[in-house]
Chains A and B, each alone.
Chain A
Amino acid sequence: MSATPPQETHPLDFRTLLYPLPPDENLSCPICRSPLLDPVTTICRHTFCRDCLSGAMGVSPTCPVDRSPIGDGDIQIAPVLIGNLVGDLIVLCPNASEGCTESVQRNMVEAHWRGCGFGMVECGGCGERIRRKDWEQGGCGHKMVECGYCAEEVRGVDLAEHEEVCPQLSAPCEHCLLEFPRDKIKQHTTTCDEAIVNCEAITVGCPWSGRRREGGEHAISCAFTYLKPVLLEHASRIATLENENKLLRRKIDIIMPTRSLEEEERTESGLDQQTIQILTEQEHVRNDVQRIFAVLQDMELKQTMLTMHMSENMRTREEVAMIGAAVNDLRSQIHGLHLLTLRRQAGTGPNNQGGSLPVRRVGDANPGGDRVKL
């Protein structure tokens, strides 16, 4: 840090100066309409700013007021009186926008500006631009200093700003106005009697809010507080029913896949994967059961047919038995006839020999080989 404060490195642009009072029209340049700067007078005795006249001469070598021709030799510095009059005009400090409230005579303004505390100068230490008065008071102000309350290190120029938010520094509670360290205020607010709180039944619609110390009194008369358990129970039942409804909706979707897609998406999102799996499984089982049922019906039909066949069979068997009996009957008759025939053939002899006939029984061996075979 040098002993002399840093200086403005460029000259002051007088054209940017602001005049707090309306300037005298007679002291204004006919070209730029601002108070004359570095006034010069032509041979035709018109006065202009030096820069304005040279600009006009570049376009046309005539007087900008009366158009009489003028050459370079026809221009002189304006009378001292004019220079003094415009030099005495009051102007605002060029750093007015930075906060300087000084207004000085124009011929003094450059001197003021060079030392103005509101001028931005380059800090020799760190190269940043700071106000000259900050430089004069604390040097550069960019060095780290320790906050006296929280021991945090901050830049010297930022200390005041830091103290606005320093957690250790006391600040009043906005409700009860008691002082607390900043980092304790939040905690205090949760118990501060003056803090504004909502009714505990705000979740079921109580609109009351007020100071915490009045909360107890309010709770005694608050209808919402009494109804809260009932309302909450209702709410939970509604939630259960809603879930159930979602499940049912999902089932309907499976049964009736024609339902609109959006509706399906809406219900689907509310179901978990497992439920969907179970329902799909259930659907499979239902299909299987239907298939088995069909097979069963088929089998029953077959069984009925079998029973019919069996009874028919029984009847046939009975008929066969009857036919067998009839055949035996016929056989015995034929046998009888056969014997009769034999006896007639042997009638001449055996009939004379006494009439005793050998009785042959069915099934006896027939020596004559004439047995009827069926």
Chain B
Amino acid sequence: MSGSALKRITREFAEISANPLEGVVIFPIDADMFKWNIELTGPKDSPYEGGRFRLNLTLPETYPFKPPVLSFATKIYHPNVSNDDKGSMCLGILRSDAWKPSCKIVAVLEMARGLLLEPNPEDAVENSIAMEYKNNRANFDRIAREWTRSYAK
């Protein structure tokens, strides 16, 4: 199983290296290719602009039948990222009941970057941040910018 997983991961890594996503840099950290370090650049016109966010992408041995696990190593003020030392992001296609084996890593990364531009408060892990985002957008933007300045250097 992991042999074919490795083959597909290698293929996907080659595709992403050939056509890099804007604002996404990838460094595989293990020779087995099952752990990737990712650096997201905060998108323009978002409170995360100018920040550099480190993420860990872990691919299960049963990939692509099981979804990858994505987590923020850099602290971020975001309704869809847990505000703890895990920084986990679990929504949409990353949920195992919504994951499809035909889904690619590049789609996962696009989704993560899309969430920086437009958080999804309906599917939040941090309800207080989601409330802030919905009801007091100015304050949300201010705190998110502050966190970006403090942590995402």
Q: List A residues at the B interface (Cβ < 8 Å).
A: 15, 30-34, 51-52, 55-56, 58-60, 63-67
With A33-B12, A56-B65, A59-B66 known as contacts, the answer to whether A64 contacts B4 (CB < 8 A) is no
* Additional pairs, 4, CB under 8 Å, beyond known A31-B65, A32-B7, A67-B98: A32-B8, A34-B11, A52-B4, A64-B64
Across chains A and B, the number of contacting residue pairs, with CB separation under 8 Å, is 42
Instruction: Judge whether B4 and A32 touch: CB under 8 Å.
Output: yes
Residues of A within 8 A of B65 (CB): 31, 55-56, 58-60, 64
> Closest A-chain residue to B1, C-beta based?
A55
> Closest B-chain residue to A46, C-beta based?
B102
Instruction: Judge whether B7 and A56 touch: CB under 8 Å.
Output: no
With A59-B62, A59-B65, A60-B65 known as contacts, the answer to whether A34 contacts B102 (CB < 8 A) is no
Instruction: Judge whether A15 and B102 touch: CB under 8 Å.
Output: no
* Interface residues as binary, B50-91 with A (CB distance below 8 Å gives 1, 0 otherwise): 000000000000101110000000000000000000000000
* Interface residues as binary, B7-49 with A (CB distance below 8 Å gives 1, 0 otherwise): 1100110000000000000000000000000000000000000
- The smallest C-beta distance from B5 to any residue of chain A, in angstroms, reads 9
With A55-B65, A56-B65, A59-B62 known as contacts, the answer to whether A34 contacts B7 (CB < 8 A) is yes
Residues of A within 8 A of B1 (CB): 55
With A55-B1, A56-B101, A65-B102 known as contacts, the answer to whether A31 contacts B66 (CB < 8 A) is no
Main secondary structure of the interface of A (DSSP, over half): loop
Instruction: Judge whether A15 and B101 touch: CB under 8 Å.
Output: no
With A56-B65, A59-B65 known as contacts, the answer to whether A31 contacts B101 (CB < 8 A) is yes
Instruction: Judge whether A15 and B7 touch: CB under 8 Å.
Output: yes
- The smallest C-beta distance from B133 to any residue of chain A, in angstroms, reads 29
Option from A31, A51, A58, A66 in Cβ contact (under 8 Å) with B64: A31
Instruction: Judge whether B100 and A33 touch: CB under 8 Å.
Output: no
Residues of B within 8 A of A63 (CB): 100
How far is it, in angstroms, between the C-alpha of A58 and the C-alpha of B8 when the chains are bound? 18
- The smallest C-beta distance from A264 to any residue of chain B, in angstroms, reads 58
Option from B8, B62, B66, B100 in Cβ contact (under 8 Å) with A67: B100
Residues of B within 8 A of A55 (CB): 1, 4, 65
Q: How many residues of B contact A (CB 8 A)?
A: 14
A-B contact pairs, 20 of them (CB 8 A): A15-B7, A30-B102, A31-B8, A31-B102, A32-B4, A32-B8, A33-B8, A33-B11, A33-B12, A34-B7, A51-B4, A56-B65, A56-B101, A59-B62, A60-B65, A63-B100, A64-B101, A65-B102, A66-B100, A67-B98
Residues of B within 8 A of A30 (CB): 101-102
Residues of B within 8 A of A59 (CB): 62, 65-66
Option from A32, A34, A52, A65 in Cβ contact (under 8 Å) with B100: A65
Question: Would you list the 3 A-B pairs with minimal beta carbon distance, nearest first?
Answer: A30-B102, A64-B101, A59-B65
Residues of B within 8 A of A66 (CB): 100
Residues of A within 8 A of B62 (CB): 59
Instruction: Judge whether A64 and B100 touch: CB under 8 Å.
Output: yes
How far is it, in angstroms, between the C-alpha of A27 and the C-alpha of B28 when the chains are bound? 28
Residues of A within 8 A of B7 (CB): 15, 32, 34
- The smallest C-beta distance from B22 to any residue of chain A, in angstroms, reads 22
- The smallest C-beta distance from A54 to any residue of chain B, in angstroms, reads 11
- The smallest C-beta distance from A198 to any residue of chain B, in angstroms, reads 51
Instruction: Judge whether A64 and B102 touch: CB under 8 Å.
Output: yes
> Closest B-chain residue to A59, C-beta based?
B65
Instruction: Judge whether A15 and B100 touch: CB under 8 Å.
Output: no
Residues of B within 8 A of A15 (CB): 4, 7
- Report which residue of B62, B65, B102 has the largest number of chain A beta carbons within 10 angstroms of its beta carbon: B102
How far is it, in angstroms, between the C-alpha of A51 and the C-alpha of B65 when the chains are bound? 12
> Closest B-chain residue to A55, C-beta based?
B65
How far is it, in angstroms, between the C-alpha of A67 and the C-alpha of B64 when the chains are bound? 14
How far is it, in angstroms, between the C-alpha of A225 and the C-alpha of B100 when the chains are bound? 87
* Interface residues as binary, B110-143 with A (CB distance below 8 Å gives 1, 0 otherwise): 0000000000000000000000000000000000
